[in-house]
Amino acid sequence: VYPPSRMQNIVLACLHKFVEPMLSWWPFNKLRKSALSSLMDHIHYEDENSNYVGLCPINKVLNMICCWIEDPNSYAFKRHLPRIHDFLWISEDGMKAKVYVGCQSWETSLIAQAFCSTKLAKEFAPVLRKAHGFLKAAQVTQNFPTYNSYYRERSKGAWTLSNGENGWPIADTTAEAIKALLLLSKYSPSLVGDPIEEQRLYDAVDCLLSYVNKDGTLSSAECKRTTPWVEILNPSESFRNIIVDYPYVECTSSLVQALILFRNSYPEYRCEEIEECIKKGTLFIEKQQRTDGSWVWYLGCVLHLCILLCHKRTSCCWKNIRE
């Protein structure tokens, strides 16, 4: 799907033919030993803080193999084994593996929003009560220790794509969960349960703002940390543009909508930063629109419409939408 470039082939061949043998000799073998020790330290950190689920089945399996090579009878390897089943499922044509451990938080947030937007909350109150309880329970309530040292982002207040167990926050899932919780807070607790604690909502907004790029945009799992030229190092033969977490229309739209809803309910909290993010995010979405009126991400047009409606741009808004 995405074959390695000629430069990559040359670099990898040189590493295999020359650098690899050299690292087996003294004193370079000491460098190798130090590098492998640092690598295992990162692997154990990831395993322990994700309950041995990992971010996805790729790094979960690779981490498990590394733990086995380090010690086949280790506690880490034994903890890895039962978590394999989190990714496996039986379909009509055999066993398959999921690309992620699940997307419960993201989908539950969207479903709750759909119920609220269609005025069916009272009719489906028992469903929304359970969804509300799940979202409150799935929030990550603490940061991982020394997360900056391991190139991780803040996690306190965030939501993962799944149920919070693997601890990997996802930016737009956090935004969608905030939107769902704010909408549910408008209904009586007797219908949908008690609203989330105010401080936990503040933590969620703090976490979401920490993911915002300098230009007011939002990427998927972390801030945009580097420049696109590092994509030449991409070792994957399946995916293009995966080294940098680029800003996306869909994620930025989720960000802007969440901040607008939050601002309406809590106008005093970090008001200047939120207003600046809304302005920059909206400008980014408008700039990304193609000449035929579409956006790259399939949800972009619908989500941008929601932003325009939230801003209450009446006649000008509808003129732009028709165009």
Residues 6+ apart with CB under 8 A from 27: none
- Number of domains into which the chain is organized: 2
Q: How far apart are CA 147 and CA 153, in angstroms?
A: 7
Q: Are residues 74 and 205 in the same domain?
A: no
pLDDT, tens only, 136-166: 999 999 999 898 889 888 999 999 999 888 8
In a domain, 246, yes or no: yes
Structural domain including 182 reads 104-291
Query: What is the overall mean pLDDT for the chain?
Result: 88
In a domain, 143, yes or no: yes
Q: What CATH number corresponds to the domain at position 129?
A: 1.50.10.20
Q: Are residues 72 and 180 in the same domain?
A: no
b/e map 57-72, b = 16+ CB within 10 Å? beebeebbebbeeeee
In a domain, 41, yes or no: yes
AA letter at 89: W
Write the DSSP symbol of residue 119: T
Beta strands in 83-219 (DSSP E): 88-91, 94-97
What's the pTM? 0.86
Q: Are residues 262 and 115 in the same domain?
A: yes
Query: In angstroms, how far apart are the furthest CA atoms of the chain?
Result: 74
Cβ atoms < 10 Å from Cβ of 18: 10
pLDDT of residue 195: 95
The residues carrying an active-site annotation are 172
Percentage of the chain exceeding pLDDT 90: 61
Instruction: Answer with the residue of higher pLDDT: 8 or 276.
Output: 276
pLDDT, tens only, 127-136: 999 999 999 9
Q: What is the mean pLDDT of residues 70-98?
A: 93
Q: How far apart are CA 317 and CA 164, in angstroms?
A: 38
Any idea what the Cα angle at residue 314 is, between residues 310 and 317, rounded to 5°? 80
Any idea what the Cα angle at residue 108 is, between residues 137 and 265, rounded to 5°? 75
Q: What is the mean pLDDT of residues 176-198?
A: 95
In a domain, 318, yes or no: no
pLDDT, tens only, 207-264: 999 999 989 999 988 888 888 888 888 888 888 888 888 899 999 999 999 999 999 9
